[in-house]
């Protein structure tokens, strides 16, 4: 069967069939099935020719591992059944990886104890192709197998030379079903992460449907490009039905600067359909085990920055992998190529996604993906830990500067602030420039440690310029050697920086403020391809100033004012305060006081 014909057959199956509820195997077997058919087996323990079905047995009490190097499973489709006659794996086109020209991330197929596997090529019964499509669920898959979520039963009669398959057709989605579109590459589609996510949600009482828009090695910038084939595919998928959520995952080689321009396009594109964009923080896929921690940290920092900029919810799959990989070496999270994820890895990712997006812990979830319970328990616990704890190894360090030979840290990093002015609002597209989220909370753009690179990007937070004052609470007293900020003249306020000014003030209690030293401003510079204006301002006293609060007041001859960062470089004031307190106590004692 040609690739195009097989695609049509699978697409047909996806339209005809959907999910069968999970009920005990014995109860299902006693219930009449919607679909049941019997086919002849042409070969046993051999690779079939076109139009033939071959069957591989496992009569032992142990797993039988069939190596792809021993069989030519290219252009073949495989169905694996366990000892209860339940289909557990489905896949296709497994290369033997012999000559180095072609390769599969999966080099073996495991047949469960007392189970069996059927293998076939083109020219077989349409009923079998539809059963494959029903098990496949419209998933994306290359050169591998994946866990089957739907309940499909199989049995064979060796004496008669036949195999029988039966299953129930799908039930329509209810009005409570939450629809997900997964956008990304093999880090999403390999080994059926979306399907396991759906199965775990179902076990938790949450009805979910999943749709794929995934391609091998795809980058988000390709999906953002309306002229790229992947960009066209995404727009077609978004137009085909209404989704509640769209899960985004970028390529392993993408860094923050690669992903950000794509997100500028994708976030409003998705929001305009009424769906909520979500981020799947991909795991480290490097095959070098010693480099995986660094990879996890890199992905964590990239996705955290994206989540903060766009106000998106995210799932720390990278963290779950790092916790499990370092704490449970007995569980292999990677496939045979040591880069893609294994069945265990896909389960771990699915558990983390469910907890992140629905707030439902995976611990105790009844869906096991046919894995040992002790393995499932560990994966569920590590997924929960990733969501519930801070990943200290991935924390982005605040900026540092050296002033008069002494090092100072930006103590304003990730600190809260308040703004007196009304936020910027000028339609869907321009909401990306707002510092206020839909729920009314601050996006935190002014203290997130990220400065604008182009002057018209989402690192900027824009407010109306009248009475624009920002007060940052540093949390405690610091000795500040420099405070600084910027003003950006982007599309919201062209030519607004000609007479722009900023004044700074310090306070220990948030009530009584004193002026900082004179503010120095730089010349206006052009940034980005759009030629936006940028001017920075800073106050640097002769001696560090003690303050907990920093207040910046902006004066701009424009309706709007764009800001990307406020920094307060200082050192901890506690040693000074302790010394001063000690000196005061000593003086008091010397004067006869108690």
Which range has the worst mean pLDDT, 398-407, 427-436, 567-576? 427-436
The pLDDT value given to residue 100? 53
* Mean pLDDT of all residues in 560-580: 82
User: What confidence category does residue 130 fall into, taking pLDDT thresholds of 50, 70 and 90?
Assistant: very high
Cβ neighbours of residue 424 under 8 Å, at least 6 residues apart? 430, 433, 434, 435, 461, 462, 463, 464, 492, 560
The pLDDT value given to residue 568? 98
Helix or strand (DSSP H, E) at 515? strand 513-515
Exposure string for 162-200, b = 16+ CB within 10 A, e = fewer: ebebbbbebeeeeeeebbbbbbbbbbbbbbbbbbbbbbb
Cβ neighbours of residue 244 under 8 Å, at least 6 residues apart? 178, 179, 180, 275, 276
* Mean pLDDT of all residues in 205-220: 97
* Mean pLDDT of all residues in 463-491: 93
The pLDDT value given to residue 132? 97
Tens digit of pLDDT for each residue in 14-71? 433 333 333 333 334 456 899 999 999 999 999 999 999 999 999 999 999 999 889 9
Rounded to whole angstroms, the Cα distance separating 163 from 148 reads: 19
* Residues 137 and 193 sit within 8 Å (Cβ to Cβ): no
The pLDDT value given to residue 279? 98
H helix runs in 21-81, sequence order? 25-30
Q: How many other C-beta atoms can be found within 10 angstroms of the C-beta atom of residue 473?
A: 16
Q: Within its chain, how far is the Cα of 289 from the centroid? A: 21
Rounded to whole angstroms, the Cα distance separating 133 from 124 reads: 14
* Residue 97 predicted with pLDDT over 50: yes
* Mean pLDDT of all residues in 95-112: 78
Rounded to whole angstroms, the Cα distance separating 382 from 389 reads: 10
> Which residue shows structure tokens 């963290």?
319
The pLDDT value given to residue 224? 98
Closest by Cα among 246, 126, 232 to 178? 246
The pLDDT value given to residue 19? 36
Rounded to whole angstroms, the Cα distance separating 249 from 591 reads: 69
Rounded to whole angstroms, the Cα distance separating 486 from 534 reads: 7
User: What confidence category does residue 439 fall into, taking pLDDT thresholds of 50, 70 and 90?
Assistant: confident
Sheet holding 73-81, edge to edge: 43-44, 53-57, 116-120, 73-81, 87-94, 144-147
* Residues 273 and 309 sit within 8 Å (Cβ to Cβ): no
The pLDDT value given to residue 7? 39
The pLDDT value given to residue 588? 55
User: What confidence category does residue 1 fall into, taking pLDDT thresholds of 50, 70 and 90?
Assistant: very low
Tens digit of pLDDT for each residue in 296-354? 999 999 999 899 888 899 999 999 999 999 999 999 999 988 999 999 999 999 999 99
Tens digit of pLDDT for each residue in 149-188? 999 999 999 999 999 999 999 989 999 999 999 999 999 9
CA atoms within a 13 Å half-sphere pointing along the CA-CB vector of 266: 31
The pLDDT value given to residue 429? 45
Tens digit of pLDDT for each residue in 507-518? 999 999 999 999
Rounded to whole angstroms, the Cα distance separating 358 from 355 reads: 6
Cβ neighbours of residue 65 under 8 Å, at least 6 residues apart? 108, 109, 110, 111
The pLDDT value given to residue 28? 46
Tens digit of pLDDT for each residue in 361-386? 999 999 999 999 999 999 999 999 99
- Fold for the domain defined by 400-576: Jelly Rolls (2.60.120)
> Percent of the chain having pLDDT more than 90?
72
Per DSSP, 113 falls in state T
* Mean pLDDT of all residues in 121-139: 95
> Which residue shows structure tokens 């629809």?
179
| More confident site: 118 or 451 | 118
* Mean pLDDT of all residues in 211-231: 97
* Residue 13 predicted with pLDDT over 90: no
Rounded to whole angstroms, the Cα distance separating 484 from 169 reads: 64
The pLDDT value given to residue 426? 62
| Torsion sign, CA atoms 119, 120, 125, 131 | positive
Helix or strand (DSSP H, E) at 66? strand 64-67
Closest by Cα among 498, 501, 561, 562 to 537? 501
> Percent of the chain having pLDDT more than 70?
89
- Helices (H) and strands (E) in the chain — how many of each? 13, 29
* Residues 279 and 313 sit within 8 Å (Cβ to Cβ): yes
- Give domain limits for the chain: 3-167, 178-393, 400-576
* Mean pLDDT of all residues in 471-489: 96
* Residues 22 and 168 sit within 8 Å (Cβ to Cβ): no
User: What confidence category does residue 3 fall into, taking pLDDT thresholds of 50, 70 and 90?
Assistant: very low
* Residue 474 predicted with pLDDT over 70: yes
Q: How many other C-beta atoms can be found within 10 angstroms of the C-beta atom of residue 326?
A: 12
Q: Which of helix, strand or coil describes residue 531?
A: coil
* CATH label, 178-393, candidates 1.20.1250.20, 3.60.20.10, 3.40.50.1110, 3.40.190.10: 3.40.50.1110
Q: How many other C-beta atoms can be found within 10 angstroms of the C-beta atom of residue 363?
A: 13
Rounded to whole angstroms, the Cα distance separating 170 from 177 reads: 14
* Residues 163 and 118 sit within 8 Å (Cβ to Cβ): yes
Cross-strand pairs, 552: 470, 504
* Residue 450 predicted with pLDDT over 50: yes
Which range has the worst mean pLDDT, 234-243, 359-368, 490-499? 490-499
> Which residue shows structure tokens 């983390």?
352
* Residue 95 predicted with pLDDT over 70: yes
């Amino acid at each position: 069967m040609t690739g195009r014909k097989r695609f049509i057959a699978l697409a047909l199956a996806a339209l005809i069939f959907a999910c069968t509820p999970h009920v005990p195997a014995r109860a299902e077997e006693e219930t009449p099935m919607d679909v049941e058919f019997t086919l002849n087996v042409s070969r046993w323990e051999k690779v079939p020719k076109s139009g033939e079905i071959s069957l591989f047995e496992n009569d032992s009490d142990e797993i039988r591992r069939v190596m792809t190097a021993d069989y030519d499973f290219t252009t073949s489709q495989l169905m694996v059944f366990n000892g209860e006659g339940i289909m557990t794996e489905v896949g296709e086109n497994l290369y033997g990886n012999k000559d180095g020209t072609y390769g599969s991330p999966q080099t073996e197929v495991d047949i469960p104890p007392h189970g069996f596997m059927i293998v076939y090529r083109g020219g077989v019964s349409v009923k079998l192709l539809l059963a494959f499509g029903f098990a496949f669920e419209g998933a994306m898959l290359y050169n591998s197998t994946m866990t089957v979520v739907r309940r499909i039963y199989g049995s064979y009669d060796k004496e008669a030379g036949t195999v029988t398959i039966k299953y129930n057709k799908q039930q329509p989605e209810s009005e409570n079903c939450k629809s997900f579109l997964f956008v990304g590459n093999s880090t999403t589609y390999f080994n059926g992460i979306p399907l396991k996510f759906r199965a775990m949600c179902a076990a938790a009482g949450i009805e979910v449907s999943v749709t794929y828009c995934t391609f091998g090695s795809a980058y988000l910038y390709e999906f953002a490009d309306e002229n790229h084939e992947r960009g066209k595919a995404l727009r077609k998928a978004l137009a085909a039905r209404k989704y509640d959520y769209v899960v985004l995952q970028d390529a392993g080689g993408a860094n923050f600067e690669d992903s950000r321009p794509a997100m500028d396009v994708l976030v409003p594109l998705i929001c305009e359909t009424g769906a909520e964009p979500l981020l799947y923080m991909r795991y480290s896929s490097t095959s070098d085990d010693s480099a995986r921690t660094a990879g996890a940290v890199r992905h964590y920092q990239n996705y955290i920055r994206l989540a903060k900029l766009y106000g998106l919810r995210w799932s720390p799959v990278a963290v779950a992998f790092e916790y499990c990989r370092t704490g449970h070496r007995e569980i292999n999270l990677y496939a045979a190529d040591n880069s893609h994820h294994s069945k265990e890895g896909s389960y771990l990712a699915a558990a983390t996604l469910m907890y992140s997006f629905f707030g439902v812990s995976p611990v105790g979830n009844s869906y096991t993906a046919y894995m040992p319970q002790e393995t499932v328990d560990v994966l569920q616990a590590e997924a929960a830990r990733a969501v519930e704890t801070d990943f200290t190894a991935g924390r982005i360090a605040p900026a540092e500067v050296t002033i008069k030979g002494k090092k100072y840290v930006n103590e304003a990093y990730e600190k809260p602030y308040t703004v007196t002015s009304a936020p910027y609002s000028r339609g869907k597209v321009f909401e990306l420039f707002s510092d206020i989220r839909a729920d009314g909370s601050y996006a935190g753009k002014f203290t997130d440690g990220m400065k604008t690179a182009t002057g018209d990007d989402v690192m900027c937070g824009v407010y109306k310029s009248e009475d624009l004052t920002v007060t940052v609470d540093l949390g405690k007293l610091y000795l500040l050697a420099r405070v600084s900020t910027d003003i950006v003249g982007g599309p919201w306020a062209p030519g607004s920086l000609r007479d722009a000014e900023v004044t700074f003030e310090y306070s220990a209690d948030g009530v009584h403020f004193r002026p900082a030293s004179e503010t120095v401003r730089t010349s206006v510079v052009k940034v980005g391809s759009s030629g936006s204006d940028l001017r920075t301002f800073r106050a640097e006293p002769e001696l560090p100033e003690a303050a907990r609060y920093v207040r910046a007041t902006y004066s701009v001859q424009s309706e709007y004012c764009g800001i990307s960062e406020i920094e307060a470089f200082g050192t901890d004031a506690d040693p000074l305060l302790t010394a001063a307190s000690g000196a005061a106590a000593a003086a008091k004692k010397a004067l006869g006081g108690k």
